[in-house]
Structure formats: structure tokens, C-alpha cells
Amino acid sequence: MDKNKTVKIYSSYEEENQAEYKRRKQMSVEERCREFAAIQERHWGKKWTSEPIKKIATWEKTNW
């Protein structure tokens, strides 16, 4: 983890989105996966790593 952090202030959401897109584009797949796992663990806590994920499929019949 990088201890030297900087704060950047953007003048618009579009400018911030472009900077975030560029940052992610420069990341390797492994770095993206680590970042995703960190976000999921922050949100779900221990459930993210200790409980299996339940997959649920749904469907809907239409008359198209």
C-alpha cells in the first residue's frame, strides 16, 4: 500500500471520470481484481470470504 497519497480536485464529474478511466486502464488485471476484492470485503465484511455465494437464476415468460 502506498503511504504517500495525494488529493486531486477536479472541476467536473466528467474530468474525474476520465481520470478514473485512465487510472483503471493503466492497472493490470491482477491489480483490478485486488481492488475489487478490497471493495467487496469492505462492503460485505467476513461474508465476502467465508460464505459461499448463492447463484440465483430467474426467467420470465413473454408473449413476444
Query: Is the pLDDT confidence value at 2 over 70?
Result: no
Report yes or no: 25 and 19 within 8 Å, Cβ to Cβ. Answer: no
pLDDT tens-digit series, residues 9-20: 999 999 999 999
- Whole-number Å distance between alpha carbons of 64 and 61: 9
Instruction: Report the residue count for the chain.
Output: 64
DSSP string, the chain: --S-------SSHHHHHHHHHHHHHTS-HHHHHHHHHHHHHHHHTTHHHHSPPPP---------
SS3 (DSSP) at 29: helix
Greater pLDDT, 14 or 6: 14
pLDDT of 1 > 60? The answer is no
